[in-house]
Amino acid sequence: MSADPHYQATEEAHTGPIKNPKQLLLAVFFSFIVPILIIVGLVSYVVSGNKPAGTAEGDNMALYGVTKEARDRDVAERLKRVGSIEIRDANRPLAAGEAVFKAQCVACHGAPGIPGAPHLNDAAAWGPRIGQGYATLLEHALKGKGAMPPQGGGDFEDLEVGRAVVYMANAGGAKFSVPDRPAAAAAAPAEGASGAAPAAAAASAPAK
């Protein structure tokens, strides 16, 4: 007696693709092992530094002409502590205006410099600025003005930046006095007075 074809088709439809224990074991194996292998591969890709050269970060850096060194410096600058304390020796000699100019100002105010900046020995460019006075010129130098960035808070004290301002302005025709520390400025007249007293006493003493 032959089996009913309709009954066999219905039975196969209900049994599914797994028909023996071996197929069941293979299905369980691949359902667990394959996802684990995929996860391990993704983790190893993320933690490794061997990423393709055409990453979005690399493309953006190349697009804007940013080098890796510049990017690292920018990151380090952003991670610096806010409000860092800088200790300077208050008794060290002040840098001369010419030395500060050569170290910090010559790129813009020297020759050839940049357009729009008053260059050293250019009396025509410095004339209107000298008329503003030393205090205004110093404020512009320390806080910045126009395209010039602030020069205060760098390698030199504000007073040393002021000496550079006087050096440049005087080279352009000004007659500003070179600024000095208050203690040094007060000590100079005192020393002059103490030296003048013995001379006056010697002059007023009767000759023998």
Is 27 part of any domain?
yes
Please give the mean pLDDT across all residues of the chain: 76
Residue-number span of the structural domain to which 15 is assigned: 8-47
Is 154 part of any domain?
yes
Is 200 part of any domain?
no
The model's pLDDT over 50-88, given as tens digits with 9 standing for 90+, comes to 555 545 555 555 555 567 777 777 777 766 655 555 556
Tell me, yes or no, whether 104 and 175 share the same domain.
Answer: yes
Q: Report the C-alpha gap between 100 and 202 in whole angstroms.
A: 44
User: What is the per-residue pLDDT for 86?
Assistant: 55
Is 108 part of any domain?
yes
Q: Report the C-alpha gap between 175 and 134 in whole angstroms.
A: 10
Q: Which CATH number belongs to the domain containing residue 131 in this structure?
A: 1.10.760.10
Least confident piece of the model among 29-33, 36-40, 53-57: 53-57
The model's pLDDT over 152-185, given as tens digits with 9 standing for 90+, comes to 777 888 999 999 999 999 999 999 999 998 875 5
Tell me, yes or no, whether 39 and 112 share the same domain.
Answer: no
Is 190 part of any domain?
no
Tell me, yes or no, whether 178 and 102 share the same domain.
Answer: yes
Is 167 part of any domain?
yes
**Structural domain total, the chain:** 2
